[in-house]
Amino acid sequence: MTATPIAAVLPTVNARIYPKGGLDVLSRDEVARLRDASTGMHDLLRRCALAVLTSGSASDDPRAARELYPDFDIEVHQQDRGVRIDLRHAPAMAFVDGEIIRGVAELLFAVVRDLAYTAMELDKGGGRDLDSSDGLTDSVFGLLRNARILHPADPNLVVCWGGHSISRDEYIYTKQVGYELGLRGLDICTGCGPGAMKGPMKGATIAHAKQRKRRVRYIGITEPGIIAAESPNPIVNHLVIMPDIEKRLEAFVRMGHGIIVFPGGVGTAEEILYLLGILLREENAELPFPLILTGPTASAPYFEQIDRFLRLTLGEAATSRYEIIVGDPERVAKRMAAGIRRVRENRIEHKDSFFFNWSIDIPLTFQKPFIPTHEAMAALDLHHGRKPHELAADLRRAFSGIVAGNVKEDGMRRIEEFGPFEIHGDHDMMQSLDALLRAFVEQRRMKIAGEYRPCYRVVT
């Protein structure tokens, strides 16, 4: 690899990189697809690559990096000796003394690997029926296996959800929980960004070092619409880019042995509704799946409001599937460790794998990609009288649409062109939803910086 400093909006370099391990070879067809501008694949590669090259960025504006590095470009070449990646006008922050930072390089290789796989396998279907639930689950498995993160070891992976825009006290608390999890030998999986996605990993690194645990996993699972707004944090050592938010959510649930939810905004609410909608199905009633909502003592009102919203919309049965623990990181870790032991026993009893939860039933309504157009958002059926898991599916889509309007380029463009999304439903449900969203805005959970302009209007 050689690097030559050049001038741009910010310091940049040109570089030539030869990946090692995990991305040894690509076919000519894969390389051609990655370079194809007509399909949008090259632009997608460029956006995702720029996101990892600015790993650790505090911005949550997907356009910010491109404005700072307008001339950045990436080319992937197939050679007899393997793969070569050429970077032009790449952010200098990704390099030290002319050499790309090793962790950043690994994330860059993951981008190329996952986009190449998605372009080939999912575009052709890979022999799978992508209109069936089993076919979509198999595609999620294929993506994770291609990323080499499915390990047949004892269950120990805790998924941590929470917002990228959280208070300092909340961030410190996520580190404390991560520390307690790490002391108990548990690995961490998050959405890979800043805030509550970084804190647990950071806390776990110290605990893992104390326990001399060397083979550790800090897994970040993202998708193309999110990664540009939430660049991977520097601790992530296994990055996976899923094709869409639905496959990303399924990956969390299939891989994780338990989930901890920290304070967050609409993305966190979307994740909670996704998981509860699945766990409330009769098919999953007896399936152990530890779910803990937690934060510092000052965050108690946040969880009280979330709890009220869930009781109103999904009913009292939903409360049996989660536990709220406030201000006690050690208790959170102990409860999670005990829950994962029950998961292990259940997997053994039902002969399910430790590394991928085949037993949990995820219906097609939770798997099919939702495109948040204004028409689709207005048509969501948010009314009482529906089965809890069906209502949860549409509530999840409502929050997913707001996430898109907040931080995804396609969603932001729709809002700029047609105005805010409109969300309709039963009066009491809309009042509760509006109050929850207003609280997110007041607590600055929607955006990291700047004044937030709502991309939605709740019709009450």
**Domains of the chain (ranges plus CATH)?**
3-127 (3.30.1850.10), 141-364 (3.40.50.450), 370-458 (no CATH)
Q: What is the pTM of this model?
A: 0.92
Contact status, residue 296 vs residue 169, Cβ threshold 8 Å: yes
Confidence band of 376 (pLDDT split at 50, 70, 90): very high
For residue 215, pLDDT beyond 60? yes
Query: For residue 33, which of 129, 156, 116 has the smallest C-alpha distance?
Result: 116
Question: What is the tens place of the pLDDT at every residue in 399-444?
Answer: 999 999 998 889 999 999 999 999 999 999 999 999 999 999 998 8
Q: Which two tokens stand for residue 111?
A: 């981008």
pLDDT of res. 107: 94
Contact status, residue 277 vs residue 364, Cβ threshold 8 Å: no
b/e map of 113-142 (b: 16 or more CB within 10 Å)?
Answer: bbbbbbbbbbeeeeebeeeebebbbbbbbb
Beta bridge partners of 383: none
What is the identity of the amino acid at 263?
P
Q: Which two tokens stand for residue 71?
A: 């001339």
Query: C-alpha angle 164/136/342, rounded to 5°?
Result: 65
pLDDT of res. 397: 96
b/e map of 198-230 (b: 16 or more CB within 10 Å)?
Answer: bbbbbbbbebbeeeeeeebbbbbbbbbbbbbbb
Query: For residue 329, which of 304, 301, 292, 303 has the smallest C-alpha distance?
Result: 292
Question: What is the tens place of the pLDDT at every residue in 33-64?
Answer: 888 877 788 999 999 999 999 986 666 666 77
Share of the chain above pLDDT 90, in %: 76
Rounded to 5 degrees, φ, ψ at 405 are -65, -25
Q: Tell me the C-alpha distance between 419 and 416, whole Å.
A: 6
Element (H, E) at 103: helix 102-117
CA contacts within 13 A on the Cβ side of 267: 32
- What pairing do the DSSP bridges indicate for beta strands 258-261 and 157-161? parallel
Q: Tell me the C-alpha distance between 388 and 312, whole Å.
A: 11
For residue 18, pLDDT beyond 60? yes
What is the identity of the amino acid at 331?
R
Confidence band of 7 (pLDDT split at 50, 70, 90): very low
E runs forming strands in 285-415: 291-295, 323-326
For residue 240, pLDDT beyond 70? yes
pLDDT of res. 9: 53
Q: Tell me the C-alpha distance between 377 and 372, whole Å.
A: 6
Quickly count helices (H) and strands (E) in the chain: 18, 15
Contact status, residue 71 vs residue 26, Cβ threshold 8 Å: no
- What pairing do the DSSP bridges indicate for beta strands 421-423 and 82-91? unpaired
For residue 301, pLDDT beyond 80? yes
Contact status, residue 388 vs residue 280, Cβ threshold 8 Å: yes
Share of the chain above pLDDT 70, in %: 94
Confidence band of 3 (pLDDT split at 50, 70, 90): low
pLDDT of res. 86: 95
339-346: average pLDDT: 97
Q: Please name the residue ranges forming H helices in 294-363.
A: 300-314, 329-349
